[in-house]
Amino acid sequence: MRILSLVLLAAALTACNRKVEVNSAPAPASGMAVHLTNNANQAVNAYVTSSGSDVFIGQVAANSEKTLPVSGVSAGTTVTLKARTADGARTYTKDNVSLTSSTDWTVP
């Protein structure tokens, strides 16, 4: 009887053992991007403002350039581009930009 109990216990533990992974779904890629050239002497945080909401798209180091993907905004949407220096002292904006798969922007 003891052996049968041990075999059943081992079978139950083996049958119930499974690996569970919990992940959040990735944001759907819209294919839109902003190629930002930062000529400032410090990093800037870049945002796309659409329908009154700022969406953070990334940070670009001082005196460098980077292509930042934009998710959740459709092609041709008119947006405002915003870049704020890391210390918050300066903000650069570009209004009425029609977003494309590769929108170029240089600050300052």
Cα–Cα distance for residue pair 29/47, rounded to 1 Å: 17
Whole-number pLDDT of residue 95: 94
Work out the burial of residue 77: count CB atoms within 10 Å of its CB; fewer than 13 is exposed, 13-18 middle, 19 or more buried: middle
How do residues 23-76 score in pLDDT, each as one tens digit? 554 444 557 899 999 999 999 999 999 888 899 999 999 999 999 999 888 888
Per-residue confidence at 21, pLDDT binned at 50, 70, 90?
low
Please state the rounded mean pLDDT for residues 99-103. 86
**Integer-rounded Cα radius of gyration of the chain:** 25
Joined tokens for residue 65:
């350039």
Cα–Cα distance for residue pair 94/1, rounded to 1 Å: 79
Q: What is the DSSP letter of 10?
A: H
